[in-house]
Structure 1
Amino acid sequence: MWTVVMFDLPVVTKPQRRRATRFRNELLNLGFEMAQFSVYMKFSGSRSAVDALAYRIRSRIPPEGNVSILALTDKQYGQMQVFNGGARQERDTSRGQLLLF
């Protein structure tokens, strides 16, 4: 399962820019990767993990922020079509199993 965070934050004033930067950095600290400037993604093991992330993100949203959190199954994520400069880009959708010794 994947957690996708999409947001639109005001950046007109210096304090707003600071809050937007802090929000993006907090997403990175939670393990998200930037897909686009205002779209971040993270692999989550289960629906309960997505819900836990959503709870943690909710407390970090700036006052004027508009944030959407989406949960995608691996199959839905694998069906995503990504284009770079008009050319379709193949994505590595495999998540290898972690082996601990």
Structure 2
Amino acid sequence: MRVIVMFDLPVVTLADKKEYLRFRKYLIKSGYLMMQESIYCKLATNSNTADALIRNVKKNKPFRGVVQALKITEKQYANMEFIVGESKSDVIDSDERLIIL
């Protein structure tokens, strides 16, 4: 199983920023890996462990903002599709970079 935690937290005031950093540090110290900004994922051995992870996230949630937790199977996670835009490279990948001396 995987537990995916997504959050949208305000960072307007200094107190909001501290809460954001505290929550993010909690996730990292708990073994969550960042998939994207504000989306973290952790592997769980079974459904009971995943439920315990979600309970711990609820205990450490910030006072303001939205935190969402999603529990999915490893098979569902493996079926994730990665859709990316056009990639750019500064290296010319053709015969234009060939220098004849």
- TM-score bracket, normalised by the shorter chain, equals 0.7 to 0.9
Q: Distance in 2 between matches of 1:8 and 1:82?
A: 22
Superposed displacement of residue 86, structure 1: 4.4
Give 1:44's aligned amino acid: A
Give the TM-score normalised by structure 2.
0.81
Alignment deviations for residues 58-99 of structure 1 (CA, whole Å, 9 cap, x no partner)? 011111121110011011001101134347xxxxxxxxxxxx
The answer to which structure has the higher strand fraction is 1
Once superposed, what is the RMSD of the aligned Cα atoms?
1.2
Computing the radius of gyration over CA atoms, which structure comes out larger, 1 or 2? 2
Q: 1:5-16 residue pairs with structure 2 within 5 A?
A: 5-16=5-16
Structure 1 residue 14, shift from structure 2 partner: 1.1
CA deviations on 1:27-77 (whole Å, 9 max, x unpaired) are 011100000110000110101011101111101111112111001101100
List runs of 5+ in structure 1 lacking aligned partners.
Answer: 88-101
1:63 alignment partner AA: F
Q: Please state how far the C-alpha of 1:23 moved relative to its aligned partner.
A: 0.2
Letter in 2 for 1:64: R
